[in-house]
Structure formats: structure tokens, C-alpha cells
Chains A and B, each alone.
Chain A
């Protein structure tokens, strides 16, 4: 009988103890897995969101896109950027708040993104909005609009329908007349928060705003011809008044600010969960070994080597941690899905952003930590059996 087989029988011998250990490891392992997914989840998810549209440099007025500051003379700036040799296209994004009229009841508040592409390259000029069309087509004329799935469901609108909006382009106190726009598509907006979102051309936005938009924009997205770093540097040289950052730099800045909090939390909780798992298994194994000292001494007397009895204990630890670890994966994914939903309920979080992201590397670290847990937890009980005085134990067992 191999050490693993022997360990399995020892576990089955005490099902309550085994179940306690396995369930404990499953619970702790699930939390550990979640913490590992959380530690890089936001970063990976944000990087994915930024990369998704194919825009690899972001030009904004503030340190981070979405800071509220606007790029002045945005169209001229985008025009100039598009002439840089490393740039394929530049896209100006200007957003406004809108209220969508209902037949009856309170209007729905939504965000309205107007975009305009600037490119000297025929391939680049085909690049359009940062949203993904799910049904229909993209808005091209100034009386066309695309809507998100939520608005489509809420207003029972599909391509071909008409939407009546009232835009607030400069301040909330504006009272602009209603504008009717033709719905030509239903789209998914990558940075959409819980607020509903619509998108159209910059001309459509200007029309909705009664021309009261000004020359500034929230963001200019740039697609380079391959050298994002060089393009960002060229933009900074060309326009010292704006901030140009590659997607990696944006993620890097986010890591230094808001995302650090989650990484610190996950690091602390990872340490706590691993320590708890080690203590749990150590206690269970130590109690188990102490209950079987006579049997172990007898096996040693019968010729079982010290290495063999140590392997038995290690195998038992590996089995508890292994089975618990396997259970922890589906449990962790389930827990992560619930926690992700809760955390995404915070205001301003893009719907497509995830706090918990599965990565092979996270799974690898999870497995490595569980292996380390199994070994470290078994150290003390292994020490007990390896140093067990055979004769004295046999004597004590008889006297006891």
C-alpha cells in the first residue's frame, strides 16, 4: 500500500475529522483563490477594457482619463495628432447628460457620447466609435443614435425606432428643446456604468445641444501604427498642454492610486487565509498523529522506515489540502461572482469592469500556496513521527 493509499485509509477512518479538514480548506481555499483573482482582477480587466477598442493612446487634460477636465480645442488637437507619422487615427469623445422622454412617467437619465474621427489614413478613417454594435449599425448621420441594451429594453426600441432626448451639454440647469433621433443600432459601451448610455456622431451631439458644445472634449483616443510609447511621446511633444498616456501607462497610474487598495486588501487576506489553513491542518494532523502513536511505533518496529511514516503524514496533509483545494475552485468562482456583483454596485464603476478575473497565473499561485500549506502544515506532525521513540512509545501504550 502506497503512502497515499495509506493516508486515504487513515482519512476515511475518521470521516468527521477528514470532512472538517477538507471543508475548512475548501472554504479557506475559496477565499484565497478570490483574493488572488482580486489582486490583479481590476488591472487585468481595466487593461482589457482599454485595449478592447483598439485605441492604444489616450489624450486627456487631467492625469487620468475621466478626471472631469476637458481637452480644449479638441477637434484641432485631434486633427494635428492625426498628422503625426506614427498615428493611424484619432477619435474625439465629448459626452453630455441627456434625459430620454417617456410616453408617461419620469424621463430616464442617460449619458450621450458624441464622437468624431480624424485621420489622414484611409484605413484609420474607417475606425469609428469605441462601442460595439450588437444589432443594427453605427450612427453616421447627425439625426442617428445608437442606444445600449438597457434603453432598448426599457423603451422597447430596436433599430428603426425614434428616441426623444433633452440634452444638458454645459450645465444641469440648461433647458434645451427636445430632439428626436433615429435609433440605428443597439451597442455595448465598454466604460458604461450603471447609468444608461447612448452614442452618436459629434455632429449629432452638437445638434442635440443646440450647438452649445464649445470646442473642448473629454478625451481623444488615438490608434498608433504599432508604437504606442513613441506615439504618446510625440503627442506630448506636439501638445505640452495635454496628457498623453498609453494604455499600459493608464493602468500603471491606476495601480498606483485606487487599485492599490484592493491589492493591499487581497495581500492581507491572502496571508490570513493561508495562515488559517496551515493552523487548521496542523491541528487536525497533530491530533490524529497523537491518537495513533502506538500504531505508528508498531509500524516502525515492524520495519517501516522513518521516511515512510513521514510520507504517510505528508500524504494525509496533501490529500486534505488537495481535495479541499479542488473544491475551493468552484466555490471560489461562485463566491467571486457574488462579490463582483456587490462591488460593481458601487457608483461610477463600468459595467464591463470586473474586480475578480480568472487568470492561469492566479490558479498557479493558488496551487503553489496550497502545496506550501500542505507541506508547512505537515511539518510539526512529521517531526513528531520522525522523532518518535519506538520502544518508549510501545512501552507507554501498554502501560497506558
Chain B
């Protein structure tokens, strides 16, 4: 397998980040962010007064009971949800002031998402699924093909490049999804219950792969109920009732 790449960890040319956290660049700077959902029975506050900084190379796990606001926080960090109050800066830009198109572009180039249910497109092969974000980003075909090859080798699925999701196992689908998330070399990779649909052994393989992505320099935020997966993180945030109840730094 390749090491982290320029697209993702290794292909971006970024190097594994170690040492003093203050020396690393801040990717996300969230200050007192809240997210309130208007509901027929009254507003529900999913996330309240969360202040969080994510630096390049960070490995963060977010745990907490169901409904505590983990996924909503992840979506705000990933710029798919905007905060009701507070400030969220991505690379110094106030996300709430960006248009939908600018936020899409930001996600396309800077953020990768890995979902519990993979959400691979069933009519496309593994190769095509990984190529899709690059194509959207306007990369040349030869560059795309080279990067797809590297990424599939990186996740150990070079031999399954022409297989459709229906021909892959759950673990393989998640590895393709990780390759897809790394397609445009994101600075931040967000994973929402990435092992939620997998058995323990396969989950461990995915966890190892995510570790490797993080070691390549990509900041990683994982929302999980899986204690083993969470324990691998350098920072473990525990949420309750929309707040960060505790933070453990390893």
C-alpha cells in the first residue's frame, strides 16, 4: 500500500504531523456554536455553546449517547449545517457568510466525509466512485486515473477497482468510501460511525486505515459509539445534551 498521498494524506505532499499542537495550523475554529432546530413542539437545541479548534493532524473522536448532538456537530464542522449562533471559521473563513456554492466548493476541496452507510453509488464501479469528486473538482482525466489507482492501492482495493458496490463486502465498501473521501486531498476527514455497519474485525481494519490517513497529516474527526475506535484518537470528546462534557487528550 502507498503511504498517505498528495490527494489525501500522501498525495497532498503534507507530512505526518507531530509535536507541539500550537505549531500546527488551525483548520476549524468553532466558538460558542449552537444549533437549534425549530420543531412543532418547540425548538430543540442539538448543539449548545461548543468551542473547539481542529488543527492539521488532529485525531479527534466524539462520543456520547444517541441524540446528544454528535452528528449535528460533525455536520457543522463539515459545513453541511450552519450554526444558529456562535462563530465557525474554516481556514479563517466564516462559514455562515459563505454562499451555498462556496460551501460546496469548500467541502469538495478541503473536507472528506465517510458515512456509516457508505453511500457509494451502486451504478458506478469502485474506480468510478473514487473518481467522481475529482471529476467534479475539474481534474484532468490522466491525473484522475493516476490518483484513483494510488488511492485504491492505498486502501488495498486495487484488485477490486472494476467491481460495483454490490460485489463488495461492507468493509470493502467502506474502504472505497474512504478512498472517495480522500480523492481531492482534504485537510479534514469527517467520519460518522464509520464502523457502525461492520463487524468487529472489519471495523478494526477500517480503524487502522483511518489511523494511517491521520498519520499522513489529515485531521480526522470521528463520531462513534465504538469505544475501541474512539480510544485510538489523540483527543476524545464526550458530549451530553449538546455540550462537550469532557475532553481527554492522550
Contact = CB atoms under 8 A, between A and B. Distances in A.
Interface residues of A, number: 25
A344 interface: no
Interface stretch (B15-23, B109-117, B203-211, B224-232): B109-117
A391 B80 contact: yes
A301 interface: yes
Interface stretch (B5-13, B56-64, B98-106, B149-157): B98-106
A304 B78 contact: no
Given A294-B117, A308-B136, A302 B107 contact: yes
B121 A295 contact: yes
Interface in B229-250: none
B104 A304 contact: yes
Contacts, number: 85
Given A9-B124, A391-B75, A391-B80, A303 B119 contact: no
Interface string A368-397: 000000000000000000000011001101
Contacts of B105: 303, 305
Contacts of A301: 78, 80, 107, 113, 115
Nearest to B102: A305
Interface string B78-107: 101100000000000000000011001111
B202 to A, nearest CB: 18
A298 interface: yes
A306 interface: yes
Nearest to A14: B123
Interface string A299-324: 11111111110000000000000000
B101 A390 contact: no
A397 B192 CA distance: 13
B195 interface: no
A306 B101 CA distance: 7
Contacts of A305: 100-101, 104-105
B101 A298 contact: no
B104 A10 contact: no
B194 to A, nearest CB: 12
B135 interface: yes
Contacts of B106: 303
Contact of B81 (A13, A303, A391): A391
Nearest to B106: A303
A398 B136 contact: no
A343 interface: no
22 contacts: A13-B123, A295-B121, A297-B119, A298-B119, A300-B104, A302-B108, A302-B132, A303-B104, A303-B105, A303-B108, A303-B137, A304-B104, A305-B100, A305-B101, A305-B105, A390-B80, A391-B72, A391-B81, A394-B71, A394-B192, A395-B71, A398-B117
Smallest CB-CB A-B distances: 5 pairs: A303-B108, A298-B119, A13-B123, A303-B107, A391-B75
Given A9-B121, A303-B106, A303-B111, 10 more contacts: A1-B132, A295-B121, A299-B121, A302-B108, A303-B108, A304-B108, A304-B136, A305-B104, A308-B136, A398-B117
